[in-house]
Amino acid sequence: MSNFLAELIGTMIIIIFGGGVVAGALLNKSKAQNAGWIVITFGWGLGVVVAIYAVGKVSGAHLNPAVTLALATIGQFPWSEVPLYILGQMIGGFVGGALVFFHYLPHWRKTEDPSLKLAVFSTAPAIEKKWANLISEMIATFILILGILAIGANQFAQGLNPLIVGFLVIAIGLSLGGTTGYAINPARDLGPRIAHFILPIHGKGSSQWGYAWVPVVGPIIGGVYGALFYNAIFLNKVETIFYLMSLLILLIFVIAYLKESKNECKCKCK
């Protein structure tokens, strides 16, 4: 199996489990309807575990453009292989979304709310404030990459690492997922969102392209910074890009805060 195919299949597996558990919890007439957030987070996390076990020995199981770019930035992955990995991940996200659509085929017509249908494929914010939403995705993916690198630096019983990473994803969902639905993976959001746009889903409504950049840009910034932070703080390997990224992130935080303060002022004035 090629690395491209491994990344495609692994990402597809994640979306089948993750999109599947969301569909089960949200779509009408599903036996799992209203299962709740804890069930959703465990579904995603255990899907990651299965995907890593499936293809980890082939491609290293990045299964996430943010992971691929983060590792390339700190020299742990060749830049020449980045495009092929990301392409495989995006196609895998699309295929996974399409398979979830067919698995729940009778349930789309039974579900009236188009936002619930979109939620099966992609994330959406609880409160849409794009700069704040961007920060949420940055922080969550920062923790993901920092956690993955920290887990990799420790010795576990052979074959246990995927399970530990899965619990990391569950913890991120439980702790940080309530704001944006914790995409933490551009392929997890953009690939299935494209599937939502293309597939003939009954009454599907908008694919929300105006928000789609947030779960792509946020994870990339947060993931790359997580890798640079790990190298700088844990390994004492400080590069110029670490300081530049720190300034960029500080600027984003300031912009988000000023926008929120401005909105609060408007509310008080009314």
Domains, in order of start, for the chain: 3-269 (1.20.1080.10)
How far is 132 from 126, CA to CA, in rounded Å?
11
Q: pLDDT tens digits, residue range 151-185?
A: 988 877 678 999 999 999 999 999 999 999 999 99
Q: pLDDT tens digits, residue range 91-102?
A: 999 999 999 999
- The arithmetic mean of pLDDT across residues 65-84, rounded, is 98
CA-based nearest residue to 146, from 66, 209, 57: 66
Phi, psi torsion values for 209, nearest 5 degrees:
-65, -25
- The arithmetic mean of pLDDT across residues 31-44, rounded, is 97
CA 254, 260, 226, 97 dihedral sign is negative
3-state secondary structure labels for all residues of 166-196? HHHHHHHHHHHCCCCCCCCCHHHHHHHHHHH
Q: 137 CB contacts (<8 Å, ≥6 apart)?
A: 180, 182, 183, 184, 214, 215, 217, 218, 219, 222
Residue keyed to tokens 């990339």: 220
pLDDT for residue 159: 83
Helices and strands (H, E) in the chain, number of each type: 11, 0
- Is the pLDDT confidence value at 248 over 70? yes
- Is the pLDDT confidence value at 270 over 60? no
pLDDT for residue 18: 98
Angle at 99 between CA 95 and CA 105, to 5 degrees: 145
**162: its two tokens:** 């995927």
* Single-letter residue type at 207: S
Instruction: Give the DSSP letter of residue 32.
Output: T
- Is the pLDDT confidence value at 268 over 80? no
- Is the pLDDT confidence value at 265 over 70? no
**What percentage of residues in the chain have a pLDDT greater than 70?**
97
Does the global pTM surpass 0.85? yes
The mean pLDDT value of the chain amounts to 95
Phi, psi torsion values for 125, nearest 5 degrees:
-80, 150
